């Protein structure tokens, strides 16, 4: 996904989230100001990297799960799973049957709760030219994942802070549970939309280094593949 398209996706998601208060508000007198500024916390989790030298090229190819193309043999592979958790706390000021609701706290945990696992063909042990070449390439994938993680955390922190600080909060409602659910779903929806857009950009960066040219350059470094 091109950077311009990703930026547009971020902007669209934030616009929808910022418009939420007016979309949810029910009739009645305006609510008083919220008593305390909302709290936004976004934690980026990085469990590190594990280098696995237990598999040969055939097993690594099976883990890869598809034909790499370019008449290449898969000698290395980086496996990583980025998770996202969202928790929104909705607070209320109540007066009889009417309630004023706002997201008083939004917490997001994003990242790698288990280590990224880098496979390197066991037939090329540490100290060999081939091992160094494969590991150098896979470490580029690791860096892309970590850079993407920190970028995502920054975007979410900024976007959520702006959204929950919007002057449209608190909103007036007659149904506490409905407001709690609607605000929580909106926060989660924004986070997931941004994570998906950033994930597409991260995948594009991975693809940009998995090219015939990069594989040929790696192969040319060593003899005896």
pLDDT of residue 4: 47
pLDDT at 104: 95
pLDDT in tens, 151-202: 999 999 999 998 887 657 888 888 999 999 999 998 999 999 999 999 999 9
pLDDT at 5: 43
Listed in sequence order, the DSSP H helices in the chain are: 3-18, 20-24, 57-64, 129-164, 176-209, 212-220
What does pTM read for this prediction?
Answer: 0.83
What percent of the chain stands above pLDDT 90?
A: 64
Residue 130 has φ and ψ, to the nearest 5°, of -65, -40
| C-beta of residue 24 within 8 angstroms of C-beta of residue 89 | no
pLDDT score of 20: 57
The 10s digit of each residue's pLDDT in 109-138 is: 999 999 999 999 999 999 999 999 999 999
Average pLDDT over residues 60-87: 85
Distance CA 81, CA 79 (A): 7
């Amino acid at each position: 996904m091109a950077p311009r398209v990703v930026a547009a996706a971020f902007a669209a998601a934030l616009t929808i989230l910022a418009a939420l208060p007016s979309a949810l508000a029910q009739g009645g007198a305006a609510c008083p100001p919220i008593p305390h500024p909302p709290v936004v916390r976004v934690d980026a989790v990085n469990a590190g990297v594990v280098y696995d030298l237990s598999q040969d090229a055939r097993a690594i190819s099976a883990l890869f799960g598809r034909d790499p193309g370019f008449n290449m043999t898969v000698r290395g592979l980086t496996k990583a799973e980025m998770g996202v958790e969202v928790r929104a706390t909705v607070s209320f000021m109540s007066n009889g049957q009417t309630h004023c609701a706002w997201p008083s706290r939004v917490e997001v945990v994003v990242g790698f709760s288990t280590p990224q696992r880098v496979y390197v063909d066991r037939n090329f042990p540490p100290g060999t030219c081939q091992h160094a070449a494969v590991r150098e390439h896979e470490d580029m994938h690791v860096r892309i994942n970590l850079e993407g993680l920190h970028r995502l955390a920054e975007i979410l922190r900024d976007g959520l802070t702006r959204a929950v600080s919007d002057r449209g909060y608190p909103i007036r409602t007659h149904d506490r549970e409905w407001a709690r659910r609607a605000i929580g779903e909106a926060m989660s929806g924004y986070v997931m939309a941004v994570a998906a857009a950033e994930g597409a950009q991260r995948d594009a960066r991975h693809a940009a280094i998995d090219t015939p040219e990069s594989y040929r350059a790696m192969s040319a470094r060593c003899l005896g593949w």
